[in-house]
Structure 1
Amino acid sequence: MTDPFAGLSAASPKETWRHAALARRRGTSADQRRAAGEAMARALAEALDSGTIALGSGAAGLPGARALAGGRPTAAAYVSMGTEVETRPMLRMLLSRGWRVLVPALGRGRDVGWAELTRMAALADVTMPAGAGVPASAGIPADAGIPAGAGTPVSRRRPQEPDGPTLPAEALAAAGLAVVPALAVDREGNRLGRGGGWYDRALTHLDAAAPTVAVCWPWELVPGPLPREPHDRPADAALTMAGVRWFRRRD
């Protein structure tokens, strides 16, 4: 397999890395993305069952927050779209095990935050009022077909969202695990995102002991360092079809 990142280094602009990653992803089929998603869901389930992933306590410094969550473990995750590895198998697995699952809610305007996913059937396309803009900081995927900051009547290629109220990023304090998207991850856990820093800001509210796991394709695990900025938050592990690969542990 040709290395999509050949010739790139930590000195290369992030946009160049993103362009290379997305160009390679466009060569994947829907069947490949579904199969990869099923494999990753199994790998994450095995890691949870074996104790390979040490979960954070969640709700650090927030008395009663776990009680509000019904005493269930909470995961911050996301709904895949476009050329991303399919995450619905993982979401389905977490729900079947009784987890409380939070996913990004980009809203129908500028109400950006998180929402609780209670069942897969609750996921739906988001209809936006004409002229309602999506903040560039929301991290809309570059291959979504929707310009960040632009309004569109119906965003069919935005991530689906569940019904329910939009929660602030502080809701992640109750999470014992965060599963986030990545276009590339290096050996230090540095993660290349979509741009805008939305996840980096949200993850500052995560329990200090809760691991962050970045989802990517195997070829997106790069040996050399990625370009990094001070606000970038590294992942503790990467999740690929081959399983969970740790960079650092919080146990």
Structure 2
Amino acid sequence: MSGPSKRDLRHAARARRARLAVELRGRDGGAGVAEAAEAIAETVLRFVPDGGRVAVYESLPDEPPTGRLVERLLESGHEVIVPVVLDDFSLEWRYAVRGTVGDQGTVTRRQGPPDASERSGWLGVDALAGCDLVVTPGLTVDRHGTRLGQGGGCYDRALAHRDPAAPVVTLLHEGEASELDLPLDEHDQPVDAYVTTTGRLVRLR
């Protein structure tokens, strides 16, 4: 007998995430998000090589916050790139600029690729090939490193361009890791670890 479908798992994971995000925002008189952002940044920074390039997504309101991570990486002299979702669900990459990414930032959605006047600071769809670490979003991750995303396939396609030596880390709310093995399709790209909003690092592969 087969297990639940990806669609069913996403539905349950999104409901769980909404609940956990509300709890985080309400924790400690509203300080929970800032504490989570700092915990994530502290943990991720421990395994970024000096002067490394890191790919980080700009978090949506219910996602583990990444704004502080981006700021800390830039303050430490690292190069940070962030994604823009194109209309075909490919990810284009651009440099993060200090002071412009907040913990409630969003990934910009475009219609078509940037034109010539916008190209400064844009790095192409294969920019992950030059990264030392890739930080991805995800709804859950299982013990084998199988990541369940939002269903668009953006990161699975983007991760095909990465340097195989560069670790891939997914950020999760504490309590979002899957105790069950997730469905794995041929195009799914595994991750090497996850970091939670408490700063906990779990290596998987």
TM-score range, shorter chain: 0.7 to 0.9
Between structure 1 and structure 2, the one with the greater Rg is 1
- Per-residue displacement from partner, 1:164-215 (whole Å, max 9, x unpaired)? 5433221111101000011001000110101121101111111110000011
1:1-251 aligned within 5 A:
11-27=3-19, 28-29=21-22, 30=25, 31=30, 32-45=32-45, 47-48=46-47, 72-106=51-85, 112-121=91-100, 164-240=120-196, 241-248=198-205
- Paired amino acid for 2:185: E
For residues 106 and 17 of structure 2, the distance between their equivalents in structure 1, rounded to whole angstroms, comes to: 23
Q: Report if aligned partners of 1:100, 1:118 keep a CA contact under 8 Å in 2.
A: no
Runs of 4+ in 1 over 6 A off after TM superposition: 122-128
- Give me the identity figure in percent: 35
Runs of 5+ unmatched residues, structure 2: 113-118
Aligned partner of residue 26 in structure 1, secondary structure: helix
TM-score, normalised relative to structure 1: 0.66
Q: Report if aligned partners of 1:215, 1:239 keep a CA contact under 8 Å in 2.
A: yes
For residues 127 and 182 of structure 1, the distance between their equivalents in structure 2, rounded to whole angstroms, comes to: 17
Report deviation, 1:78: 0.6
Runs of 5+ unmatched residues, structure 1: 1-8, 56-70, 135-162
Report deviation, 1:17: 1.2
Q: Report if aligned partners of 2:42, 2:199 keep a CA contact under 8 Å in 1.
A: no
For residues 126 and 77 of structure 1, the distance between their equivalents in structure 2, rounded to whole angstroms, comes to: 11
| CA RMSD, Structure 1 to Structure 2 (Å) | 3.0
Aligned partner of residue 213 in structure 1, secondary structure: strand
Give the count of matched residue pairs. Answer: 189
Q: Report if aligned partners of 1:44, 1:243 keep a CA contact under 8 Å in 2.
A: no
- Paired amino acid for 1:76: A
- Per-residue displacement from partner, 1:17-73 (whole Å, max 9, x unpaired)? 11111112222233433332221112222x32xxxx6x6xxxxxxxxxxxxxxx931
